[in-house]
Structure 1
Amino acid sequence: MVPLEKPYQRGWKRYFILRADIAFSVRAEFYTALLAKINTVEYHHDKTFKRKKRRKGRYGYEIKKQSLRELTPYLWESSNLDLTEQEKACFSQVEMYNVKTRQQEIRYVFTEPWRYRLKIAPNMVTHKKLLDTDLVRELDLIDNHIKRNNLDGRIHLLTNGRKYNFWRYYRALAKYSMVKKIPKYRSKEAYLELDF
């Protein structure tokens, strides 16, 4: 990453910070360290952070909700977050229904979210990725050559082997389904005479 000569703003970002009264309390350092582990950042093109929502045939706008990070059992037990026993005491175990997997899942939720408040700040771009222009130009030439000469299928054949043959798959299923059609009273010799 290379620093830019002229940084520019690209939308807005929203994240949690300590409330003013807790920032001057005795346990300010503890809650600051915990916030670094459970903070979430959202980006939006508009400062209002509103999204479209359809209501009774019309489109309205609602403010996007943002909450602190909910920990999975894997993160709870792993050493990536490095939660201390005091920090773990600030969480409660909650069972939630996941709509995608259609199963009950366990999550660990922070019990005192009122200690933090949301802050909206401009999202300033100060660094950019250094690109090798010659390399990018060569990659573009290769992509154009592949598209122009329709070589996608040939590359797929060379990298992934033959195309998937559905008929071979169904023939294999038919081969094994013959075993099911043999009646129970047939003798062992008659079974061995069958040619699969």
Structure 2
Amino acid sequence: MEHRAVKKYALLVVAVCFATTPAWAQQDTAAGGVPKVLLSDQHQEMVKIGVGDKFPEVTLPPAAAGGESAPMVKQFGQQVTVVGVFSRDGAMAKTMLRDLQFDINKQYNALNPGAGMANVLPVAIATGLTQDQATQTASAASFEGTLLLDGDGTATAALGTGRMPRIYVLDSKGSVVWFDIEYSSSTRREMQQAVAALIKQSEASN
């Protein structure tokens, strides 16, 4: 009898905790397998652009010599865009760029080379770094996707403050469907899941 009472109390505590969980912690705006974005109150305060928001309409210069600045919307893939933002030449930045290269660029774009705008595109934004610093970091990670410079950090500030690197998965209209404000093995797994889910949704609607 005592065991049942304890069990009921535990279930009640769980129910109360879930009911008081902030709405942003329960978001799952894209159905079909896109992971939920769960942030602590402290991390939520660092975020200005979240799930359901349009990615900032910024125009940034490319790191490649001789390239011309273009609006962010011109960098989007036809189905999915994965945007990684990094602020220094660190291990996590290189890991993120390496994963963008092998999980996104090679996995999807290598399947249909020379076919114009790719369905899935990786974009990296280097904030607060010089052209040399950004290209060296990308080269060390074997990243061959679009690399943009946000030298003074103005564009990146529109995304939020604090933790880096950050990563965003956008749909074909440039809306954020999933993001993270750090990079880890779980971040990589959820990024892959979000991209696969968006592709599946896109193909199902055509």
Q: Pick the TM interval, shorter chain.
A: under 0.3
Taking structure 2 as the reference length, what is the TM-score of the superposition? 0.22
